[in-house]
Structure 1
Amino acid sequence: MRLRFVAIVLTLLGLPAAAQVPPAYVGSDTCAGCHADETARWSGSHHALAWTEPSPETVIADFDGTSFAHDGMTARFRLGADGGYFVEVTEKEGSTTEYRVHSVAGIEPLQQYLLETEPGRLQSFDVVWDSEAHRWFHLYPDQDLPPGDGLHWTGPYKNWNARCAECHATGYRKNYDPAKRSYASFEAEIGVGCEACHGPGEAHLAWAAGKEIKGYSLDLDAVGFSKSFATTGSMIQQCATCHSRREALDDRSPYPGTPYHQSYNLSLLRPGLYYADGQSQDEVYVYGSFLQSKMYAKGVGCGDCHDPHTAELVAEGNAVCTRCHNPSGNPDFPSLEPADYDSAAHHFHAPGTTAAECKSCHMVERVYMGNDWRADHSFRVPRPDLAAETAAPDACTTCHQDQTAGWAAERIAAWYPMSNNRGPHFGNVLAHGRENPTAAAGDLADLAADESQPGIVRATALWLLENADAPEPVNRLATLLEDDDPLVRAAALGLQIKAPPQERVMRVIGLLGDPVRPVRIAAARAMLGSPIVRLPGQAQAALEAAMSEWQASLASRLDFPETHLQLAGMALTMRSVAGATAAFREAVRMDPQRSDAWIMLVRLAAATDGAEAAREVLDEALSAAPEDPGLLQLGRELAAD
C-alpha cells in the first residue's frame, strides 16, 4: 500500500521546481564582530533562545531525578553520566522508552524539550517546565491522548520538523521523504539568528571587504542582503512569516525579503481560530489580528512598539502607547486625535492599577500552552454590546467575571454617550454567516464588497459564502477578482468555483498569471474539473504553470494529514477512486481519529466493492475512533440498508 500510495502521489504532483541558489549563511557569531551592540541586545532574547542545544546554560528544568505523572503516563527526568539530559516515558498502556533530549525550545514562561523518536524525526514532548513556578506540567491536562492518537505527543500534530522548526531556526529546510516517511531536516543555525531576518550574510561580507557583489541569484540590496527594512510594510511582512497562523507553500524558510503572500496562505477568521468579531481564540500569532486594526491601516508597524533585537517593548507599561496616544500627538501619525488617554477621564479606573493599563481594555490577553499569556493585536475598542450576537468574549467581563456583557455595555454607554464606536460591526455579519450562510448571504456579500473593511475580514465573508445556497453573490462579487488585496482575490476565486463552468473559466483564466502565488494557486484550484480539453496558447501555459505551483506546494506538505485530504479531493474531482482511497488511507494512517477521512473511505468502499466491504472499513474506523458520532451514524445507515 505504501509504494502504491507514493506512486499515486508522485503521479498527481510531479516534482517541485528547483530552488534558487542564494548567498551562503555565515552564522550569528560572524555578525557579532562588526555588530556588537545589536548582538548584545539579541543575545539572551526569546529569538536567540527559540531553539538551543541542551546544556547547563540553556536547560532550566530540574532533571535531577524528578518525575511527573498524568493520566496513566509517567515521565522521569535524569542527567546522564556524559552530561546529557534524558526522559524516560512510561505510556498509559505500559510501554517504557527512554529518550535523550535532542534540543530545547524556548525559555519563558515555559520551556519545552524535543525528543528524537526515530532518526531525524523530532517530537515536542507534552510535559514542559514552568519557568515561573519551577515545576513540570502537562500542556493538555484535560485531554485523553493515548499512544496512537493523532494528538499524542508522538503524532503528526506535535512533529517539530513540520509544525514548529521553521520559525525557531535560521535557514531551515524540512526535507521530508514521503516514500520513506522520514526527515532529513537541516538548518543553517538553530534559533532565530541575525540571518533569519536580514538574509544570508555571505554577500554582505563581500561588500564589507570592498568586493563587488555579483554571481548571486537572489535580488540583493546595495550592501548584499536579500532583505531591507526600508519600509514599515516590509518589516511587518518579515515579522509575519513566523508571527502568523498560516499554511506554508514551501518546505523551507523563504529568504528574507520574499513578500509574505508569495510564501504563505494566511488563515482567515475561521471558527476555532478567531471569534466571529475577529478576536483571537486559538494561537494565531498576531498578524491576522493586526491586519484588522486601525493602527495597521494608519501605517503603524512592529518596530513602533517592539525592539527587533531584544524582542521587548520599547517602553514600559502604558508608556509604549502614550508615545503616540497623548495630548501632543505624534507627527508620524497626524490623523490620531491628541488627548490624554492615560487618565481616569479616559479609562475610568484607578490610575496605576492593572485595570488602568491600556492593554487590559484594548489588547485582551489569553493564555495558551498552559501559562503563556498573549495579547490580541487587533487593538480593538471593547464592544460588550456585540456579545449577544457574536458569542465573543469582551474585555470588561474578562476582568469583571461576576458581571454580564449587558452590564458592561451599559457602563461604557454611560461613560461615552456620544461615542461613534457602537455602530454596525463586521462581527455581527460573520456570526450570522457562521450560523446560516444562506440566510446571511446578502449581508456577507455587502461585507465582502466593502472596501473600508480589512482585507482579512472581506476574504472571510467570501469564504463563508462558499457554503451558501445563494447564486446571486457569485455573479455580483466576480468584480472582486480584480481587488487590490491578494487575500480578497484568492477568496473570490474560491467563491467562483460555484459559478457555471463556462462562466467560471472565463472569470478565472486571467488570474492564472496573477503576480501573487496563492492567487495563482487558487485560480488553478478553481480550474480543476473545468469542461475544457486545452486552452489556447499562453492561457494553457499559465494554467500548467499554476497547476505546477499548486502541486509543488502540496508536495512540500505530504507529512500533513490535511494535505492528503486535499489530494483526495483532487483525485475525486479527477474521478480517480484509487488515488482518493490511497490519500484518505494515508490521512488515517497519520491521524487514526480523522473521522472525515474514514467516512469517505467507507463510502468509497460501498460504491466500489459493496456493503460488506464498507462494513469492514467501518469496523476498522470504529476501532480507532469508537465514539465518533459521524462514524456511529454511518454505522446505523449501513445497518438500515
Structure 2
Amino acid sequence: MSVVFSQDDAGYHALVTEADGTTTQRDVHSVVGIEPLQQYLFETEPGRLQSFDIVWDTEKKEWFHLYPDQILQPEDGLHWTGPYKNWNARCAECHATGFEKNYDPATASYHSTQAEIGVGCEACHGPGSDHVEWMRTHAKDDAKQNPGYGLTMEAQAGTQGWIEQCAGCHSRREAYGDGNPLPGTPYHDAYRLLTLNDGLYYPDGQIRGEVYVYGSFLQSKMYREGVGCLNCHDPHTTELIAEGNALCTQCHSPAGNTEFPTLTLKDYDTPEHHHHETGTAGAECKSCHMAEQVYMGNDWRADHSFRIPRPDLDAITGAPDACTGCHTDETADWAAQTLAEWYPQSSHRGPHFGDAFAMALQNPVLSKNRLVEIANDDETADIVRATALALLKPLQDRDAADETAALLDDESPMVRAFSVGLQPVAPTEAAVGNVAPRLSDSSRTVRFAALRQLFGLPVERLPEEVRIDHDAVMAEWRRSQSYRADFPETHLVLAGNALVHRDYEEALAEFRKSVALDPQRLDAWSMIIRLTSALEDERALRAVVLAALEANPGSTELRNFAHQLEVVVPSKTTSD
C-alpha cells in the first residue's frame, strides 16, 4: 500500500493505492493523537470512520506504516478498512466524550454521536448539566456539607474510585455497554478485565501486547498499599507531577510520605542502591522498575507493575528483563549473578507466580496444586489470582473447584467471577448450588460469569427462583452483546451459546454474520461447513466451501475440508 497526501482549499486528501493495485481518493475526516504520532481517519461510508495505517511521526517529522510487514488485500479483516480498524467500534469510546456508537446491524451502518471531541471534563466528572443545576439551586455554603457539586465523579471519590475511572480507558477489557458509561460506574459493572493471558502478558505478568497499564498496575505493591494514578499523574495536563527520580523519591526516600506509613525509609537515589553512575539511564528508577515496550510504531510505554528485575526467571518464563534490555551484549544468567552480588540478602529471589503460569501453559495438570495455592493467597494481586483460576478451568478438576469454592465470596469481583468458572453444574438443584446465587451478585462481571457457567442447561429443570434470576441475567447479557454486533467475535460467542442450546439454525446464522464482518475467520468458516453439511444439501455445502476458499485461498484446513467432504474445487481456488 502507498499513499500520496495533498491539501487544497477543500481540505486534506489522500490518494491511496492498495496492494491489489486499486487507487482511491480519500478525504481526511479527522486526526487522532498529538504526539508521538498522529493517525488519520477516513470516512469510508456515511458515519463509518476507519483508522488509516500510515501515520505521522511528530518527532522525526516523517510518515511510517504501523504494520510494515503486512501486505493486506482490501477484503482482509485486518486491512485498514476492516472491522478491527473501525474507529466507531474500537477506538472512539476512549477518544471522545459522551460517545454513543449507535450501530445498526440491519444496515451495517453507524449513526454515532459524541458530546465533545477528545477527553473533556464530562468524560471523567459526569454530565455538566447536573453540575450547572446543582450550582443554580444550592448556596455556596452547601458545598461544605456536600462537596460533590452535582458531579458523578468528584474530588471525594477516593483513590480506588479514581483508579477505576482511569482504568475504563487505560485497560485491556471488553465493554458491556454502548459508548461511555456514566463516570463513577464501578469498573466491573462496565467492563470485563482480561487476565494475564498468554500473548498479552508474559507468564510473570510483564507487558507483552498492548494492555494499557491497568492490568499491570493491579499487580504492583504500590496499588496494594493505596497508591493511585493521581499520586504520579496530573489528570488535567496528563503530565507527571515531578521529573525523573524526583517522582519516585516523593515517597521512596529517608523522609518517606506520611500518606503511606508502610514505606521503608531509605535513600534509594544513590549508587549504593542502583549501582550505576549518577546521571545515566541506569540510575533512573524507571529503567529497572518500569521497563518500556514500544507500541504503535514509536510510542514507548512503561510497565506499571513496578517490578523488581528477575532475570533468574527468564529461562522459565521466556520474559525479558530490565538488565539485559539495556546490556544487550550480556545474558540473563550474567544479570542474575550480578544482582545476587549486589543484593546478597534480597528476599525477592524466591518462588514467583510466573513459574506456575509458565508451567500451566505447557502442562496444566502438573501446575494444578500451585495454581490453587496462588488463587487462595489473599496477599497476591487479584488479577494474578484470577489468572490462576482461569488457568485451572480447562482441567475441569473437582478437587480444584472444591479447594477454591470459598473464593465465590471473595471481595474481588474478578476473583469471584473466575472462581464461578471452576464450579461444576448439572440440571439439578444441588449441582447449581454454588453457581446460582451468583446470578444476583452485585457485580455484572460475576453475574455474567455465572450465566456462562449455566449455558446449555435445560432452564425448565432449574428451580423457579433460579430460573427467574437466570432469565433476567440472560436478557442483560443479550442486551450487552447487542452493543457489539459489529464485532466478528461477538457472533462467535452468540453462535457458541446457540450450539449449547442445540439451536443449530441460529448458530449457523451467527457464524455467517461473523464471516460477513471478517472473511478470514477460519474458526467460523469451519463451523459453517460442518453445520451446512448436517443441515443442508450438497449444493449448499459446495457453495459454502467455495466461498470459504475464495476468501482464504491459502488455507490448508479448508482444502482438507473440501477433500474430506468430496467437494470438487477449481484448481485456481486451491492454489497458494
Count of aligned residue pairs for this structure pair:
561
Aligned pairs for 1:40-439 within 5 A = 73-82=1-10, 84-211=11-138, 222-230=148-156, 231-439=158-366
Amino acid in structure 2 at the alignment position of 1:75: V
User: SS of 1:533's equivalent?
Assistant: helix
User: How many Å separate the matches in 2 of 1:397 and 1:312?
Assistant: 29
User: How many Å separate the matches in 2 of 1:505 and 1:492?
Assistant: 14
Measured after TM superposition, the shift of residue 612 of structure 1 is 7.2
Specify whether residues 275 and 614 from structure 1 end up closer, same or farther in structure 2 by C-alpha distance, changes over 3 A only.
Answer: farther
User: How many Å separate the matches in 1 of 2:362 and 2:94?
Assistant: 35
Amino acid in structure 2 at the alignment position of 1:208: M
Instruction: Answer yes or no: is the 8 Å Cα contact 1:103–1:114 preserved in 2.
Output: yes
Amino acid in structure 1 at the alignment position of 2:152: S
User: SS of 2:98's equivalent?
Assistant: strand
Amino acid in structure 2 at the alignment position of 1:597: A
Instruction: Answer yes or no: is the 8 Å Cα contact 1:465–1:495 preserved in 2.
Output: yes
- Percent of pairs with identical residues: 57
Amino acid in structure 1 at the alignment position of 2:341: A
User: SS of 1:288's equivalent?
Assistant: helix
User: Relative contact order (C-alpha < 8 Å, sep 6+): which is higher?
Assistant: 1
Partner of 1:549: 476
User: SS of 1:505's equivalent?
Assistant: coil
User: How many Å separate the matches in 1 of 2:487 and 2:168?
Assistant: 19
User: How many Å separate the matches in 1 of 2:401 and 2:96?
Assistant: 43
Partner of 1:461: 388
User: SS of 1:495's equivalent?
Assistant: coil
Gapped regions of structure 1 (runs ≥ 5): 1-72, 214-219
User: How many Å separate the matches in 2 of 1:517 and 1:184?
Assistant: 27
Q: Work out whether 1:475 is the aligned partner of 2:377.
A: no
Measured after TM superposition, the shift of residue 606 of structure 1 is 2.7
User: SS of 1:581's equivalent?
Assistant: helix
Instruction: Answer yes or no: is the 8 Å Cα contact 1:177–1:183 preserved in 2.
Output: yes
Partner of 2:571: none
Give CA-to-partner distance per residue, 1:335-389, whole Å, 9 cap, x none: 1101111111111111101111111110010000000000000000000111111
Aligned pairs for 1:500-579 within 5 A = 500-502=426-428, 503-533=430-460, 535-579=462-506
Amino acid in structure 2 at the alignment position of 1:187: Q
User: How many Å separate the matches in 1 of 2:269 and 2:162?
Assistant: 29
Measured after TM superposition, the shift of residue 625 of structure 1 is 2.2
User: How many Å separate the matches in 2 of 1:369 and 1:494?
Assistant: 34
Specify whether residues 229 and 259 from structure 1 end up closer, same or farther in structure 2 by C-alpha distance, changes over 3 A only.
Answer: farther
Measured after TM superposition, the shift of residue 501 of structure 1 is 4.6
Measured after TM superposition, the shift of residue 102 of structure 1 is 1.1
Specify whether residues 162 and 544 from structure 1 end up closer, same or farther in structure 2 by C-alpha distance, changes over 3 A only.
Answer: same
Measured after TM superposition, the shift of residue 229 of structure 1 is 3.4
Partner of 1:42: none
Measured after TM superposition, the shift of residue 121 of structure 1 is 0.3
Instruction: Answer yes or no: is the 8 Å Cα contact 1:244–1:285 preserved in 2.
Output: yes
User: How many Å separate the matches in 2 of 1:112 and 1:454?
Assistant: 36
Give CA-to-partner distance per residue, 1:70-109, whole Å, 9 cap, x none: xxx2211111223x11111111212222121111101100
Measured after TM superposition, the shift of residue 441 of structure 1 is 2.0
Instruction: Answer yes or no: is the 8 Å Cα contact 1:505–1:530 preserved in 2.
Output: no
User: How many Å separate the matches in 1 of 2:400 and 2:556?
Assistant: 34
Amino acid in structure 2 at the alignment position of 1:328: A
Measured after TM superposition, the shift of residue 605 of structure 1 is 2.3
- Please give the TM-score of this superposition, normalised by the length of structure 2: 0.94
Instruction: Answer yes or no: is the 8 Å Cα contact 2:168–2:187 preserved in 1.
Output: yes
User: SS of 1:506's equivalent?
Assistant: coil
Over aligned residues, Cα RMSD in angstroms? 2.0
User: SS of 1:492's equivalent?
Assistant: helix
User: SS of 1:373's equivalent?
Assistant: strand
User: How many Å separate the matches in 2 of 1:204 and 1:558?
Assistant: 34
Instruction: Answer yes or no: is the 8 Å Cα contact 2:39–2:56 preserved in 1.
Output: yes
Measured after TM superposition, the shift of residue 257 of structure 1 is 1.1
Instruction: Answer yes or no: is the 8 Å Cα contact 2:456–2:497 preserved in 1.
Output: no
Measured after TM superposition, the shift of residue 221 of structure 1 is 6.8
Give CA-to-partner distance per residue, 1:388-433, whole Å, 9 cap, x none: 1111111111111111111111111111111000011011111111
- Please give the TM-score of this superposition, normalised by the length of structure 1: 0.84
Partner of 2:414: 487
Amino acid in structure 2 at the alignment position of 1:139: L
Instruction: Answer yes or no: is the 8 Å Cα contact 2:148–2:155 preserved in 1.
Output: no
Amino acid in structure 2 at the alignment position of 1:92: A
Instruction: Answer yes or no: is the 8 Å Cα contact 1:90–1:97 preserved in 2.
Output: yes
Specify whether residues 209 and 145 from structure 1 end up closer, same or farther in structure 2 by C-alpha distance, changes over 3 A only.
Answer: same
User: How many Å separate the matches in 2 of 1:539 and 1:619?
Assistant: 46
Instruction: Answer yes or no: is the 8 Å Cα contact 2:427–2:462 preserved in 1.
Output: no
Specify whether residues 313 and 98 from structure 1 end up closer, same or farther in structure 2 by C-alpha distance, changes over 3 A only.
Answer: same
1:619 aligned to which of 532, 536, 546: 546
Specify whether residues 116 and 597 from structure 1 end up closer, same or farther in structure 2 by C-alpha distance, changes over 3 A only.
Answer: same
Measured after TM superposition, the shift of residue 435 of structure 1 is 1.6
Specify whether residues 638 and 356 from structure 1 end up closer, same or farther in structure 2 by C-alpha distance, changes over 3 A only.
Answer: farther
Instruction: Answer yes or no: is the 8 Å Cα contact 1:139–1:369 preserved in 2.
Output: yes
User: How many Å separate the matches in 1 of 2:206 and 2:524?
Assistant: 30
User: How many Å separate the matches in 1 of 2:401 and 2:530?
Assistant: 30
Amino acid in structure 2 at the alignment position of 1:480: L
Amino acid in structure 2 at the alignment position of 1:76: V
Amino acid in structure 2 at the alignment position of 1:395: A
Partner of 1:588: 515
Amino acid in structure 2 at the alignment position of 1:388: A
Measured after TM superposition, the shift of residue 618 of structure 1 is 3.3
